[in-house]
Amino acid sequence: MSEQSKKDQFDLAFKNKQSPYEAAKSLTKLLCGEVFERLSSTIKDHPRVLEIGCGDGAVIKDIPNKLFKNCDYLGIDLSTNAIGLAIKNNPSFNFQNVDILNFESSRQFDIIIDSHCLHFLTEALERKRYFSKVSDLLKDEGLYVVETMLLPKKAGDVELMSFDFQSNCFVKDGRKVIFLDEARHFEEIFSEYDLEIQYFYCPLGAKFICESHRSESLISDPDVLRAIVKKKSGT
Ligand SMILES: C[S@@+](CC[C@H](N)C(=O)[O-])C[C@H]1O[C@@H](n2cnc3c(N)ncnc32)[C@H](O)[C@@H]1O
């Protein structure tokens, strides 16, 4: 999908509803639980936090202040409307309307969060650029925390989107909209970018319902991956 049509799609979603996406409670739980409890010695006070695809700011709104004590937070999103809502919902945090693939920063981050953005990068080159950015933007020993969609065992069409087995993408109106990868590929990608796995969780039966009009999951809905990886020092 071209960058402009992807932006239009998300702008429309955020224009029509006050908050089109349920706050990713599972990722908030992961951040408050695993990240905070298991890795609290690694997380400094006042960490620099980047959230990729922050949408309307639902994740940072839900994270108790004590988790990232006085964090220096920046949320970025492709959609202008999403960023407008994020600023309104979270006036004390910083937001920027930019595509992660074009994002530049002279300073690195202690923590990078991605809640449901990565799977919208439907082209292999985009994902390569994304991981190279994540790796460059993370400080040594910095954490990347992601919740994303995985290819289910019985991949196939869902109600309104067809599944293209060649590209592993859901296709809507002739456009690739969501990419689904296998868990083992994430392990390979993390290792390729010197990101050491701290936590890798893809529980059997945990499904994304990838169409907002449904409340019940289908067997062909994507599985869930939650991962925390640490950038190796000196890389
Ligand atoms: C499903 S929403 C998730 C929003 C939020 N992270 C949450 O969990 O509530 C995906 C978000 O990713 C954003 N997005 C998609 N591709 C992006 C890109 N290349 N760069 C930055 N943001 C992107 C969309 O605009 C949208 O706000």
Task: Give percent of the chain with pLDDT exceeding 70.
Answer: 86
- The finding on whether 116 has its CB within 6 A of some atom of ligand 1 is yes
In this prediction, residue 65 carries a pLDDT of: 65
Which residues are CB-contacts of 64 (< 8 A; sequence separation ≥ 6)?
Answer: 32
The parent domain of residue 147 ranges over 3-231
- Give CA–CA dist 101/98, Å, rounded: 8
Residue with tokens 């296709």: 171
Low-confidence ranges of the chain (pLDDT < 70): 1-4, 17-25, 34-43, 64-69, 235
- The finding on whether 208 has its CB within 6 A of some atom of ligand 1 is no
State the CATH number of the domain containing residue 151: 3.40.50.150
Name the residue at shortest CA distance from atom 12 of ligand 1: 53
| Number of structural domains in the chain | 1
- The finding on whether 75 has its CB within 6 A of some atom of ligand 1 is no
Q: How far is the CA of 159 from the centre of ligand 1 (A)?
A: 22
Secondary-structure percent of the chain, ordered helix, strand, coil, rounded to 5: 30, 30, 40
In this prediction, residue 58 carries a pLDDT of: 86
Q: How far is the CA of 104 from the centre of ligand 1 (A)?
A: 17
- The finding on whether 60 has its CB within 6 A of some atom of ligand 1 is no
- Name the DSSP class of 222: P
Ligand 1 atom closest to the CA of 130, numbered from 1: 19
The residues facing 146 across adjacent strands are 114, 227
Q: How far is the CA of 205 from the centre of ligand 1 (A)?
A: 24
Q: How far is the CA of 204 from the centre of ligand 1 (A)?
A: 25
